[in-house]
Structure 1
Amino acid sequence: MAPELRRVTDQDLPEWSRALRTGFLRPPVVTKEEIELRTAAVATGRVQGVFDGARCVATFRSFDQRLTLPGGADIAANAVSNVTVSPTHRRRGLLSRMMAADLRAAEERGATAATLIAAEYPIYGRYGFGPVTWTTGWEVDVARTGLDRRYAGPADGARVDLVDPADVRVHGPGLHERLRATRHGVIDRIERWWLVNTGAMPTGIPWEEPYYVLHRSADGTVDGLLVYTAEDTWEGMNPQGVVTVLDLVAVTPGAERALWHHVLSIDLVAKVRTGHRAPDDLLPLLMPDPRAARVTHHSDFLWLRPLDVPTLLAARTYASSGSLVLGVTDPGGPADGRFLLEAGPDGARCVPTTRAADLVLGPGELGSLALGDESAARLAELGRVDEERAGAVALTDALFRTARRPWCPDLF
């Protein structure tokens, strides 16, 4: 019998979880805590599995997400996660079946786009996804930064305080929502995220309590959060401690600078690892010697697949004013068609049209352009977009590109 694609029930969870672990090369032993954690996801009806007899051989899950666009508005996204196909069942079209069913359902629910973070680059372009944000990580040699090691905290009346997990659960959600309103590419963090990431909800993974730091402005407003772990390492009598930043959220440049300065001034620390940051993060240029920060990784991160092109393009703002007809080639898909975009700094209008296209591209290319990070000129030089009207590529870049690069701080 052909493998069966079906919605996963509570009874399927142990077998589905084992298949998930197998796909991600983790020991295929499922704990009671893991099953309990995944039960809530099953209740939403957004967990799929492919079963060959009693054995699950492919996994797929999606959930609701909010994604911020340039200008601060957000859209309803269908976030895709937990995608695996067991090595015994590769190249049989199982992922294509799961993806088609999920995207069809997402379109029917009214999602504007689908999002995911790709484990491997070549997989998702064929489903209409394109990379929309990138991430960079640095390792900082603290001794080389050139920062004043006598730093004793902000000098503008602000405060930097070590706090407890309970304080983070109080102040963190509102702070993150303020960030989301100002930085495109950021996704929402639901209550469960804060519980898991402050140790209040067990996950089956051993919990190591990090350090939590809040930055308060002179009037007492919380405008920054730093979370980090530290390794107590020595070489002889020389301290060689390593700090790893797990999260740094700041809604003012002053708070961001102060939190970086704080973490780079901790006694006994020789190296600071930044975690996932925007490629144009302030950090390197904050230091008198930017070469103290060595890039440890630079990669695509959040991917986006347009489902409702008019809503997606009308929801964001644009750097300049102009009119453009985009011809999206998505045979049999939800993004197929020609769309008239009338855009400007104060908003936009986007509607289907029968007018000739100025620029022709696929849904993945539109996804890559949607948050302003990719260059239409670069895509044209690669042969991935076609300019049907002279000047359309330049106009696309003038409209879509943004002053700061989009950033998604969270894996999902």
Structure 2
Amino acid sequence: MIEIRPVEEDEFEEWLRALYTGFLMEPVPTPDQREANRRQFTGSRTLGAFEGGRCVGTFRSFFQEVTAVGGAPVRSNAVTNVSVSPTHRRRGLLTEMMRRDLAAAEERGDAVATLIAAEYPIYGRYGFGPATCATAWSVDVTRSGLRARPPVLPEGARIDLVDGAEVRKLGPAFYERLRPALSGSLNRSELWWEARTGAARFTRDWTEPYHAVLRSASGEVEGLATYRCEADGRDGELSRYAVVVDGLLGATPAAEADLWRFLCSIDWVTRVRSGRRSPDDVLPHLLPDPRAASIEQHSDWLWVRFLDVAAALEARTYERTGTLVLDVLDEGGPAGGRYRLDVSPEGASCTLAPGASADLTLPASELATVWLGDGSLARLAGLGRVREERTGAAREADALFRTSGRPWCPDVF
């Protein structure tokens, strides 16, 4: 008999072994990995499936804030560390762990749940939909037009290389300054910054990165880039290197451009790999030859599941004025119902309206895909995944939900 329940403190290492097994990692973590993972242990929010004392399934959730369009932080139930041992697949273990966790999240009053989906087909059946995408570029510096051309910074500005300890001091305040403008971004804990700078180790193969800080003439941080360098072949006696970016943020598009130009100007570097970026990132367009940036990967990233439709839709801003009646389908879940949404640049109101005539009928998972301003209800209607009850309603909805910039989640969890 398999028992699903919260993990006790003395069962943590057994739970961690099951997690590493499920993700095909070495099943015995290092002491550093055990310590880093133990700091994430969340008591009742860490679930395990146990058979005869052996853990065969893992699940963890934690508090998170998602930045809505307009900058408001939205309370979220972040789902992670989901695994089922290969000997116990297709027995409903994930379904039961997810059911328990989402019920607890609803009771706490969380507006949404979030996750990063390792496999696309799994999470739609639990009401999640992909709300942001990420794109990774590879820049051939030799044809980009930027080779050996360092950025021309504003008078008094400078770029410095700093260590991880300095990043832990200056990074959090800088990121919080930027976060309201980054719809789809998440809050970052102290442990997040420690993991990014090596003070906490979740992997065996940690290598110390470089950290470049862009400062204004007054000394204020305007940009931060974390990157590594790896060998990328040889050209005769000259070594070629690739810069691999772990993260890059600027307070303005100009600041981001200065950091990209800096990375492209490093001696011996012939390729820059951007890592996961917003699909409408400035990177390809600042190159004299934009074709020098080729897409290495484009995929869904942050997935969202509505727990409180009204709270989620009212939390974000809208650039236009309009009214929609949405018949949201969520069989057995908390998001189902018919809602009247009234929006304007001054604010939004979303209320249950069971007697109103619906403009659109759609699953909660499809509504989640447009919540942060990406996606298209008109396209989903064309695919048969959204039903128009009033002709033209899908295009009207797109005009209300769409934003001038695409949402982006720069983190993984």
Q: Do the two structures share a fold, i.e. TM-score over 0.5?
A: yes
Q: CA deviation at 1:234?
A: 5.0
User: After alignment, is 244-253 or 140-149 more displaced?
Assistant: 140-149
Q: Which runs of 4+ in 1 moved over 6 A?
A: none
**C-alpha contact 1:9 1:42 (8 A) present in aligned 2:** no
- Post-superposition CA distance 1:167-224 (Å, at most 9, x none): 2111110111122110101111111111121122244634311111111123321111
Q: Aligned partners of 1:68, 1:377: CA distance in 2, in Å? A: 25
- Post-superposition CA distance 1:245-278 (Å, at most 9, x none): 0010112111111000100110110111110101
Please, which runs of 5 or more residues in structure 2 have no aligned partner?
A: none
The 1:31/1:386 distance shift into structure 2, 3 A limit, reads same
TM-score (norm 1): 0.97
Amino acid of the residue matched to residue 306 of structure 1? F
Report the counterpart of residue 159 of structure 2 in structure 1: 160
Indicate the SS of the match to 2:228: strand
Report the counterpart of residue 272 of structure 1 in structure 2: 272
Q: CA deviation at 1:152?
A: 5.4
The answer on 1:216 being equivalent to 2:204 is no
**C-alpha contact 2:32 2:200 (8 A) present in aligned 1:** no
Count of aligned residue pairs for this structure pair: 411
Report the counterpart of residue 139 of structure 1 in structure 2: 138
Report the counterpart of residue 369 of structure 1 in structure 2: 370
The 1:261/1:204 distance shift into structure 2, 3 A limit, reads closer
User: After alignment, is 266-275 or 388-397 more displaced?
Assistant: 388-397
The 1:92/1:233 distance shift into structure 2, 3 A limit, reads closer
Report the counterpart of residue 96 of structure 1 in structure 2: 95
Q: CA deviation at 1:55?
A: 1.2
The answer on 1:16 being equivalent to 2:23 is no
Q: CA deviation at 1:122?
A: 0.2
Report the counterpart of residue 326 of structure 2 in structure 1: 326
Q: Aligned partners of 1:150, 1:249: CA distance in 2, in Å? A: 21
Q: Aligned partners of 1:173, 1:72: CA distance in 2, in Å? A: 17
* Matching of residues 162-241 of structure 1 within 5 Å: 162-203=161-202, 205-232=204-231, 234-235=233-234, 236-241=236-241
The answer on 1:260 being equivalent to 2:260 is yes
Q: Aligned partners of 1:396, 1:362: CA distance in 2, in Å? A: 15
Aligned-residue CA RMSD (Å): 1.4
Indicate the SS of the match to 1:280: coil
Indicate the SS of the match to 1:340: strand
Amino acid of the residue matched to residue 393 of structure 1? A
Q: CA deviation at 1:329?
A: 0.6
* Matching of residues 287-366 of structure 1 within 5 Å: 287-354=287-354, 355-366=356-367
**C-alpha contact 1:153 1:159 (8 A) present in aligned 2:** no
User: After alignment, is 369-378 or 223-232 more displaced?
Assistant: 223-232
The 1:312/1:365 distance shift into structure 2, 3 A limit, reads same
Q: Aligned partners of 2:41, 2:193: CA distance in 1, in Å? A: 20
User: After alignment, is 72-81 or 166-175 more displaced?
Assistant: 166-175
Amino acid of the residue matched to residue 188 of structure 1? N
**C-alpha contact 1:14 1:30 (8 A) present in aligned 2:** no
Q: Aligned partners of 1:156, 1:261: CA distance in 2, in Å? A: 17
Indicate the SS of the match to 1:295: strand
Amino acid of the residue matched to residue 305 of structure 1? R
**C-alpha contact 2:8 2:43 (8 A) present in aligned 1:** no
Report the counterpart of residue 122 of structure 1 in structure 2: 121
Indicate the SS of the match to 1:356: coil
Q: Aligned partners of 2:92, 2:21: CA distance in 1, in Å? A: 18
Q: Aligned partners of 2:35, 2:248: CA distance in 1, in Å? A: 30
**C-alpha contact 2:233 2:241 (8 A) present in aligned 1:** yes
**C-alpha contact 1:33 1:203 (8 A) present in aligned 2:** yes
Instruction: Determine what percentage of the aligned residue pairs are the same residue.
Output: 54
* Matching of residues 241-252 of structure 1 within 5 Å: 241-252=241-252
TM-score (norm 2): 0.97
Amino acid of the residue matched to residue 266 of structure 2? I
Q: CA deviation at 1:339?
A: 0.9
User: After alignment, is 226-235 or 71-80 more displaced?
Assistant: 226-235
Q: CA deviation at 1:44?
A: 4.0
Indicate the SS of the match to 2:256: helix
Q: Aligned partners of 1:30, 1:171: CA distance in 2, in Å? A: 31
Q: Aligned partners of 1:216, 1:380: CA distance in 2, in Å? A: 47
The answer on 1:387 being equivalent to 2:388 is yes
Amino acid of the residue matched to residue 408 of structure 1? C
The 1:30/1:372 distance shift into structure 2, 3 A limit, reads same
Q: CA deviation at 1:320?
A: 0.7
Q: CA deviation at 1:332?
A: 1.5
Q: CA deviation at 1:82?
A: 0.5
Amino acid of the residue matched to residue 252 of structure 2? T
Indicate the SS of the match to 1:298: strand
- Post-superposition CA distance 1:101-150 (Å, at most 9, x none): 00000001111000000000000000000000001101111001012623
The 1:386/1:156 distance shift into structure 2, 3 A limit, reads farther
The 1:39/1:151 distance shift into structure 2, 3 A limit, reads closer
Indicate the SS of the match to 1:188: coil
Q: CA deviation at 1:232?
A: 4.3
User: After alignment, is 25-34 or 372-381 more displaced?
Assistant: 25-34
Q: CA deviation at 1:54?
A: 1.5
